[in-house]
Copies of this chain bind each other. A is one copy, B any other.
Amino acid sequence: MLVVQKYGGTSVGSLERIQNVANRVAKTKKSGSDVVVVVSAMSGETNKLIEYANHFSKTPSREDMDLLLSSGERVTAALLSIALNEMGLKTVAMTGRQAGIVTDSSHTTARIEKIDPEPIKRELEAGKIVVVAGFQGISKDGKVTTLGRGGSDLTAVALAGALGAARCEIYSDVDGIYTTDPRIEPKARKLDKISYDEMLELASLGAKVLQNRSVELAKKLGVVIEAKSSFNDNRGTIITKEEDIMEKPLVSGIALDKNQARVSLRGVEDRPGIAAEIFKALAQENINVDMIVQTIGRDGKTNLDFTVPQNELERVKLIMDRFSHEYESIDYDPKIAKVSIVGVGMKSHSGVASKAFETLAAENINIEMISTSEIKISMIIDEKYSELAVRSLHEAYELYK
């Protein structure tokens, strides 16, 4: 059986922690599994290198940044290999290139195009533990590339897929995925299993654990992920195909996102294409519009509400000024929160949404916007009610059980 393990920056954040990782890897190997280990840079290293680069330039070239930033993972890979060696295990440390990871040429945000599994397979067959520097690959013209934020997770998932690994274990300093943020609701419960789609919708709960790009890739490749902590031996959360989850919960978790701001246009001319023009302008500036609600207002005019990332609000205002002739008034509200209820069981059950609305109504929390998908209901509320909303919904759906 082959297991791919990935250890994040906190898990390898000091020499002592690298030794701890070595002990865990050795235990897995001695239990009879083949192991491929993917490592991040020691926590702090990447930020230090970015600071170095910014000392010289606010806009360093992406190629140079890739050469710079790829060095941190190489250091960790070499050190972990040395530590395992000293424990009597046969190892080989590999760069992304040596591990056969070929990417496109989008430096700093490269996409994996293909993986040649042969180099790793050969070493596994020779009985070695393979330690791979995460986050990096090589472009077809031979340049070092990096995969962007969460890149080491992507390396691990992609290798697990290419090698047909039984499981991809993603280690961090968090135990797994919880029904909601335990800092808000102490009764939050760790989930044993969750589907890829639920995980994608619960992004805010998994943000510290793994990025959406990795979940999407795992879904595409059919890689089973276990998210767990490198600091204890607790079971983690399995992220897998919906079909592999026997008991489909009505609701799996409650997510909270406080980083949105609402833009409200009143009295928009009701002619075709005006909304499209506005959203095109925002897209061109790489501003990610999340929820959109359009309602009929007075005099045959419409109201248009949408949310954008809070930290983009100033840029959004500049863009909206260009459209000032298209609406009667505009209002910006950064003090909102998005509460989402996620669960694959919703597909086949009605009444999930109405329970949410009732629960918030009972707490006198006004719902400003609603959007629903097959497995998610999102509601925009006044930010000050965030925690109360999360706790009462967590209770209403009995997620503590």
Contact = CB atoms under 8 A, between A and B. Distances in A.
A139 to B, nearest CB: 11
A82 interface: yes
Contacts of A18: 56
A78 B57 contact: no
A40 to B, nearest CB: 14
A83 interface: yes
Interface stretch (A60-68, A219-227, A356-364): A60-68
Nearest to A60: B82
Interface in A221-276: none
A144 interface: yes
Nearest to A55: B15
Interface residues of A, number: 39
A83 B74 CA distance: 23
B52 A81 contact: no
Contact of A15 (B56, B61, B95): B56
A144 B53 CA distance: 24
B93 A78 contact: no
Contacts of A143: 98
Contact of A82 (B15, B19, B56, B144): B56
Given A71-B71, A71-B74, A86 B15 contact: no
A64 B86 contact: no
A143 B75 CA distance: 15
Contacts of A81: 61, 64, 67
A142 B142 CA distance: 12
A64 B82 contact: yes
A19 B22 CA distance: 39
A282 interface: no
Nearest to A142: B98
Contact of A71 (B75, B82, B97): B75
Nearest to A19: B56
Interface in A342-389: none
Interface of A: 15, 18-19, 22, 49, 52-53, 55-57, 60-61, 63-65, 67-68, 70-72, 74-75, 77-79, 81-83, 85-86, 91-93, 95, 97-98, 142-144
16 contacts: A15-B52, A15-B56, A18-B56, A52-B79, A53-B78, A53-B79, A56-B86, A57-B85, A60-B82, A61-B85, A64-B82, A64-B85, A71-B71, A71-B74, A98-B142, A98-B143
